[in-house]
Amino acid sequence: MKKNTPKVGRPPKYRNEKERTAARKAQNRKCQERVGAERRERYQNDPVYRAKILSAQRARYRARNGRTKAAIGHRRGKANAYATKRSVLRGPLKISRLTLNPTQCADFLDTTPTAFAAWVATGKFPRPQLRDATGTFHYTARQMNAMCEALFHAMKGRVVFRASDTAAIAKVHAAFHQTAV
């Protein structure tokens, strides 16, 4: 057999490497478009498949970004763990109650004291009616539990409390006034 004889059979499909690469990329793009269309249709029509995809997306997000912020009000019913027993003034009366100062309220709601103060200043949260001897305002643990419960149910798992959430704000104020001191 001679070493330099040309191969017998089908002629080469592409003239050079550039043509081969371009054809391969075009074929891959065509396949991706077909598979993508099938997946989009399945996502629209199959709720189990959609739930699986969304769950995987959340898992990838958590893996990349670490711990995500919890929903507002996720600590509902646990204000007593953040409260301290204080003597507070209610008009001319001095009473002893389990209360939370603004910093403790912010910790309880998993936000910053500055953000909580802004919520009170903008009317998202009602102004507390109790003061201690130093003039600091306080909420009772019962009030905070009620407001947190109302906020949690009104926000439905969201993590941002906006001024446009008028229904949530109204529920928080109603809960506050129902548990007045």
pLDDT digits 0-9 by tens, 83-119:
888 777 666 667 677 888 888 888 888 888 898 899 8
What is the DSSP pairing of strand 130-131 with strand 93-100?
A: unpaired
Distance CA 109, CA 74 (A): 8
pTM above 0.75, yes or no: no
DSSP-assigned beta bridge partners for residue 100 = 139
- Binning the chain into helix, strand and coil, the percentages to the nearest 5 are 50, 10, 35
| Per-residue model confidence (pLDDT) at position 161 | 79
pLDDT-derived band at 68, boundaries 50, 70, 90: low
User: Which residues are 84's β-sheet partners?
Assistant: 99
Cα–Cα dist 32/82, whole Å: 54
Is the pLDDT confidence value at 38 over 90?
Answer: yes
Q: Residue with structure tokens 């929903």? A: 71
Distance CA 81, CA 104 (A): 10
Residue 76's closest CA among 109, 111, 115? 109
Give the mean pLDDT of the chain: 83
* CA proximity to 53, closest of 64, 71, 39: 39
pLDDT at 81: 81
User: Per-residue pLDDT averaged across 41-65, rounded?
Assistant: 88
End-to-end Cα spacing for the chain: 106
**How many percent of the chain have pLDDT more than 90?**
20
Q: How far is CA 164 from the centre of its chain?
A: 17
Residue bearing tokens 């949260």: 125
Which token pair is 160?
Answer: 């941002």
Q: Please give the helix or strand (H or E) that residue 90 lies within, else none.
A: strand 84-90
Average pLDDT over every residue of 122-148: 86
